[in-house]
């Protein structure tokens, strides 16, 4: 999600970390619930658990040629009827002299974890041009406007490591993507790899998008289907704390072309749970 210009480079890397699709036997080691939001309240997202990242880090814009500003407005993120809604809207909005034609929300968890199981039960937006994501970033990234700042380091991206548990392009609403971006700890070179799953009813039915992460591997799932299994070797930055991010981007590298008739769409999240 952070930078997807080189998305298709992963094809040449799949030989080392295979995309596989089979049934998942629930791993019983992740039993302790360490972070959760069931969204059984009304109004703004719980500010004890969530931070709105709103400062554009790329000269007044976000990376990936995205078209939106992120805001902390209740118009863009709110809870009711037991779910969180992240709402992308066509509206002119200015932030510190930078004007965009769309708004959305990007939520950072105020919780850092190393290893465990993440579950997010969600329905995805259906409109072409929308790019929803459930992902993590290394807490040492020190990205502009994130909640933790340089508290855990400032190695930057991609050396911080990024885990895209779920992304969906703006042009294929029948599939989702799991992807990994990192900087090689030995060579400092950028690396990425990942896979995809077929989810034809992602917009009108809830699915559980999950990750299981330990010192040996990181596995991503849609419901009980394994999407990708990454070997967690010592050259990868996946043995330190990460935080969770939820957002919808508009347009950009994975959003693609937005129809002129677009007015709004919603990424609806029933719950977020992290187990260790």
What is the reported pLDDT for 29? 85
Q: Are 169 and 145 in contact (CB under 8 A)?
A: no
Residue 6, pLDDT above cutoff 90: no
Q: What is the pTM for the complete model shown?
A: 0.92
Cα–chain center distance at 123: 14
CA angle 193, 195, 198 (to 5 degrees): 165
Catalytic residues: 162, 167
Q: Which two tokens stand for residue 195?
A: 């896979």
List pLDDT tens digits, range 168-211.
Answer: 999 999 999 999 999 999 999 999 999 999 999 999 999 999 99
List pLDDT tens digits, range 116-155.
Answer: 999 999 999 999 999 999 999 999 999 999 999 999 999 9
Banded model confidence at residue 12, pLDDT cuts 50, 70, 90: very low
Banded model confidence at residue 25, pLDDT cuts 50, 70, 90: low
What is the reported pLDDT for 32? 97
Q: Which two tokens stand for residue 114?
A: 């190393």
Residue 53, pLDDT above cutoff 80: yes
Average pLDDT, rounded, for the chain: 92
Q: Which two tokens stand for residue 133?
A: 């994501």
What is the reported pLDDT for 24? 59
Q: Which two tokens stand for residue 90?
A: 């066509």
Mention every residue, 6+ apart, whose C-beta is less than 8 A from residue 263.
89, 90
Q: Are 110 and 241 in contact (CB under 8 A)?
A: no
């Amino acid at each position: 999600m952070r930078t997807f210009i080189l998305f298709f480079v992963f094809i040449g890397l799949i030989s080392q970390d295979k995309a596989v699709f089979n049934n998942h036997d629930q791993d019983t080691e992740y039993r302790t619930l360490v972070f959760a939001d069931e969204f059984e309240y009304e109004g703004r997202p719980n500010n004890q658990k969530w931070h709105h990242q709103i400062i554009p880090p790329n000269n007044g814009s976000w990376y990936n040629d995205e078209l939106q500003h992120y805001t902390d407005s209740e118009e863009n993120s709110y809870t009711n009827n037991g779910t969180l809604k992240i709402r992308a809207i066509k509206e002119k909005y200015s932030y510190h002299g930078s004007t965009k034609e769309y708004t959305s929300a990007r939520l950072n968890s105020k919780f850092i974890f190393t290893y465990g199981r993440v579950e997010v039960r969600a329905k995805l937006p259906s409109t072409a041009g929308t790019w929803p994501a459930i992902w993590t970033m290394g807490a040492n990234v020190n990205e502009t406007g994130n909640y933790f700042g340089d508290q855990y380091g400032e190695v930057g991206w991609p050396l911080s490591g990024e885990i895209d548990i779920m992304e969906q392009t703006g042009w294929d609403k029948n599939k989702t993507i799991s992807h990994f971006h990192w900087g090689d700890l030995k060579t400092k070179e950028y690396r990425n790899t990942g896979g995809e799953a077929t989810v034809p009813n992602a917009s009108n039915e809830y699915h559980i998008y999950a990750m299981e992460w330990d010192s040996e591997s990181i596995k991503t799932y849609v419901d009980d289907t394994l999407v990708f299994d990454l070997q967690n070797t010592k050259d990868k930055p996946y043995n330190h704390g990460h935080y969770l991010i939820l957002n919808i981007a508009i347009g950009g590298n994975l959003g693609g072309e937005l129809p002129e008739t677009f007015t709004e769409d919603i990424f609806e999240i029933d719950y977020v749970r992290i187990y260790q």
